[in-house]
C-alpha cells in the first residue's frame, strides 16, 4: 500500500501511482521521462498530475531553474581549506534570505535550525533501512531531543 509524503500536493491515488511505477520499473525502467510518457494520454491515471499547458509549464520550469540557482549559490569562507557555505535559505517558504541575516536574527536562526532538523528527520525516514547509518540516526535523535 502506497501513500504520498505529508504535505504533498499530488492529487492522485498513491496506490495507482505506486503500481504504475512498479510496472515501469519491471518493463522499461522507472525514470521521470518514462512516467511522464506513460501519462500523456488524457485517460492515463496520472495525467492530471502534470501541467499540460506549455506556456504555464515553461514558466514553472524557469522558476524551478531560478530556485536551483539560488540554492546552489555558496559563499567562500576566509579559511582556505574550509568548504563554501550555502549563501541563501528560504525559511519562510517564499522568500530567500542571506545566511548572514538569518544567523543574526534569533527567530530566523531558530527557524533555520528547525528546518535543518526536519530535513535530518526526513533523511532518516528515507534511509532508515540502512543499518549502517544507525549511529548517524542516533546522533540526530540526541540533537532533536
In terms of residue numbers, what domain contains 128? 99-145
C-alpha distances in Å from residue 102, one per residue of 70, 109, 119: 15, 5, 18
When pLDDT is cut at 50, 70 and 90, the band that residue 84 belongs to is confident
Q: Does any domain span residue 118? A: yes
Residue-averaged pLDDT of the chain? 91
Q: Centre a 10 Å sphere on the Cβ of residue 20 and count the other Cβ atoms it contains.
A: 19
Q: Is 5 domain-assigned?
A: no
Task: Tell me phi and psi for residue 58, to 5 degrees.
Answer: -65, -40
Q: Is residue 42 in a domain?
A: no
114-125: pLDDT as tens digits: 999 989 989 999
Asked whether the beta carbons of 2 and 17 are under 8 A apart, the reply is yes
Whether 64 maps to a domain, the answer reads: no
138 falls within a domain: yes
Total domains present in the chain: 1
Report yes or no on 45 lying in a domain.
no
Distance CA 44, CA 48 (A): 8
Note whether residue 126 is domain-resident.
yes
Assigned domain for 108 exists: yes
* Helix then strand then coil, % of the chain, to nearest 5: 60, 5, 35
**CA–CA separation, 35 vs 46, rounded Å?**
9
**92-118: per-residue pLDDT in tens?**
777 899 998 999 999 999 999 999 998
Provide the CA 145 distance to its chain's centre, in angstroms: 24
Amino acid at each position: 500500500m502506497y501513500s504520498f509524503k505529508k504535505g504533498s500536493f499530488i492529487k492522485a491515488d498513491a496506490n495507482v501511482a505506486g503500481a504504475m511505477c512498479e510496472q515501469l520499473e519491471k518493463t522499461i525502467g522507472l525514470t521521470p521521462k518514462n512516467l511522464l510518457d506513460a501519462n500523456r494520454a488524457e485517460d492515463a491515471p496520472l495525467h492530471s498530475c502534470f501541467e499540460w499547458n506549455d506556456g504555464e509549464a515553461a514558466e514553472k520550469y524557469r522558476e524551478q531553474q531560478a530556485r536551483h540557482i539560488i540554492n546552489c549559490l555558496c559563499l567562500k569562507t576566509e579559511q582556505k581549506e574550509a568548504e563554501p557555505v550555502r549563501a541563501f535559505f528560504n525559511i519562510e517558504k517564499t522568500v530567500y534570505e542571506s545566511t548572514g541575516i538569518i544567523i543574526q536574527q534569533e527567530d530566523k536562526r531558530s527557524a533555520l535550525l528547525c528546518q535543518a532538523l526536519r530535513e535530518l528527520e526526513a533523511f532518516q525516514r528515507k534511509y532508515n533501512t540502512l543499518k549502517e547509518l544507525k549511529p548517524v540516526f542516533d546522533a540526530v535523535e540526541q540533537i532533536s531531543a
